[in-house]
Chain A
Amino acid sequence: MLTLIKLEWQKHRIVTYMRNAFILAALLCLFIFAMDFLGIANDPDTGVPDTAPGMNHISATIELFANMSFLVFTGVMLSTFLISPYRNGTIHLMFSYPIKRQKILAAQMLAVWIFNLAALVITKLLLYSCVQLGSQFMVPAFVSDFDMTSYRFYLQLILKSAVLVSMGFIALYAGMATLSSKVTIVTSFLLIFLTQANIGDITLSNYAAVPLLLTVISVLFAFLSLYRAETKDLP
């Protein structure tokens, strides 16, 4: 499986995605730094961040922007790795190899999942480090509510990132059903609104059971994307 994942990365020139993820992380760092220390999100009258309820904590802001960005990034990669082969015909080639089809598709999914999990974890660490470093010299506008010395911080960061990246499989299923890259990316956007948006002070991300439920749903959709791959006719 590891060999197949490496081949997927090689095939899609993963270095290009690494460069793009790095640019995205750098832009996010700049944006979060500007919000927290340069006051771009502050209300001109009150001088405090003009945020939705509960969003005046820096961790919530970091999680929101990093999650939004990387859910779309995951959607784009999933569509390139798994939907485009159906559209440009290279799936015919892939399915003519002496390898189980489900294994090929699983390798493609894992190649995207592993890359995005690593990229998201590193980006979040960069963002938190940026805020931590800035607060040594400047006064933050947002409430700092994280402790980078605690192992819980890292555990939560990894788990939350894993749940977020796995959600991409829901978008993938929609894309696979219609063989459309656009559907995959649009579904990623819709998932962001569903999970990150708030109505008043109610947001799905406040409920502890939601990540668990989303993970279960994501795994189910990943399974559905692979189901019948062996016996289904290629388009």
Chain B
Amino acid sequence: MSYIVQTDGLTKTIQGKDLVQDINIHVKKGEIYGFLGPNGAGKTTVMKLITNLWKPSKGTITLFGRPLTAKSYDVYKRMGSIIEFPTFYENLSSRENLKLHCAYMGYHHPSGITSVLELLHIADAADKPVRNYSLGMKQRLGIARAILCKPELLILDEPINGLDPAGIKQIRNLLKTLCTEYGTTMIVSSHILSEVESIADTIGIIAGGKLLQEIPMQEIIEMNAAYIELKTSNLNYTACLLADKLQLTNFKVMDDAAIRIYDKNCSPQQISDLLAQHQIAIHTIYTKADTLEDYFLKLTTEGMPYADFN
């Protein structure tokens, strides 16, 4: 398997303290990699190391199949990033900021600036100085700049910071579109876990400077599919059918006229097909799964009395 981003034993030590230690992350082409961790876990440190703003104390980083060194300048042409918070030349307008960005990146596509400003809904304020922008507008402009030169790899540190719910939805859709239509690979960190959950293909969980787990999102969903809850018009008959026709044993009839099925090999589809055949009306049927947040909390707070999840 070839990866767009791969780190091997990545360690950063400052003044004798390990900020991150032995980090091994693997980001596949065209996927969205959700990078999660409590405050101070080391997410931004890893992102700074990947973008070469900081140099590793130990370990290696491989980007696009090539080791990242102090002289890897060409790789920046293929990357867009926001680390911590986007910074601009505040006395210039957003259009001027983006023009400068294009000039430094060696990217010549004048209409691209207008398109990206429209895409991020900041075209109306394009000629106003950035110092007059709200936090949300600056965040949008930061994303506009990061995607302007059509990067193959996007590294976004808390990209939805300061955005309103509509803005969050818009950015979520934008990131999904970039990933599906343009094949852009992304590493996205966020403290809003439900946002990462809805877009990420793979999750990397970091705490205390160590990568606790790197796992496909689908696997988390499957692992946390705790039970199927079912409410029908005839609960006893339903229970008999489940035992008789589907040979289920691992289920329980609850007091409030519901059945919980804990058998992982049984799907809601099978159950609804069976009940339809026997003309039993289904009131509700759903899979009750732990959210990514539950999983994250379970993993990062093991043995810890308290953790700050912002």
Contact = CB atoms under 8 A, between A and B. Distances in A.
Instruction: Place the interface of chain B in its size category.
Output: 20 to 34
Nearest to A233: B54
Interface stretch (A89-97, A128-136, A171-179): A89-97
A10 B81 contact: no
Interface string A118-149: 00000000000000000000000000000000
B273 interface: no
Mostly helix, strand, loop or mixed at chain B's interface? loop
A13 B101 CA distance: 16
Contact of B83 (A11, A92, A98, A231): A92
Mostly helix, strand, loop or mixed at chain A's interface? loop
Contact of B55 (A3, A98, A100, A231): A231
Interface in A194-231: 230-231
A230 B84 CA distance: 21
Contacts of B166: none
Interface string B74-105: 11110101011101111110000000110111
A88 interface: yes
B92 A98 contact: no
A95 B53 contact: yes
B244 to A, nearest CB: 64
* Most-contacted residue by chain A among B76, B81, B89, B106 (CB, 10 A): B89
Contact of B70 (A3, A88, A230): A230
B51 interface: yes
B306 interface: no
15 contacts: A11-B100, A13-B91, A88-B90, A89-B85, A89-B87, A90-B89, A92-B84, A94-B104, A96-B79, A96-B81, A100-B71, A231-B55, A233-B53, A233-B54, A234-B48
Given A90-B87, A98-B77, 10 more contacts: A7-B100, A7-B103, A11-B89, A13-B91, A92-B83, A93-B87, A96-B79, A98-B73, A98-B106, A230-B71
